[in-house]
Amino acid sequence: MIVIKNLQKSYKGVIAVDVEELEIHAGEVIGLVGNNGAGKTTFFRLLLDLIRANKGEILSKGIPVTTTEEWKSYTAAYIDEGFLIDYLTPEEYFYFVGKLNQLSKADVDDFLQSYQVFFDEAVLGKGKYIRDFSKGNQFKIGIVAALLTNPELLILDEPFANLDPTTQLRLVDMIKEMAAHKQMCVVVSSHDINHVSEVSSRVLLMEKGKIIKDIAGGEAAFDEMVDYFKVK
């Protein structure tokens, strides 16, 4: 689904991302792990064409993301609250996203019914603007809005960081189910090596902009990451 070749991004001569070659396939759950400053968010912004690389290219289904917007029809992401329209209520925002994707109000309402447990009665029907919700509930809104588009590729930056433990576990189950039944490719960055190793089929360990390890997910990935970060 995604092919990266000789990708490099630098700021004032300091390299933020330097990925020589990487392939991400449909149906995979990719965990991107690294310490602060490793380049994870910059990498995501390059994937979404929010910033441009100094060199190299990113191909989505064989087409460079910088030359077409076709990839946007099957790609969704939530990186931070900048992806939200914070002067809307959650319902207004969901209807807006739905309208952009040719979904009726009834379609959106039906979709939201599936996420009542995930919202935990803390988001819908509150009459509050998105800006007045906690960071955790803003993340819930952003994640569900991304799923509303029924994407083939979903990108989430630090989704576990602001969620309470119950919602973290619900998100783990959601990601597993999406990958298993929808053949959705999910790319998740996280500092939580426990959750990321649990949900991922592959874990990419990033340091100083480079992918230094590409390992199978699961318990072995967790152990390898523990060994790696212990000596940092």
Residue the block writes with tokens 């996203």: 97
Per-domain boundaries in the chain: 2-83+152-230
pLDDT digits (tens, 9 = 90+) for 103-153: 999 999 999 999 999 998 889 989 999 999 999 999 999 999 999 988 999
Taking the complete model, does pTM exceed 0.85, yes or no? yes
Does residue 20 surpass a pLDDT of 90?
yes
Predicted local distance difference test score (pLDDT) of residue 174: 87
Q: Which fold has domain 2-83+152-230?
A: Rossmann fold (3.40.50)
Does residue 68 surpass a pLDDT of 80?
yes
pLDDT digits (tens, 9 = 90+) for 188-211: 998 888 899 888 999 999 999 999
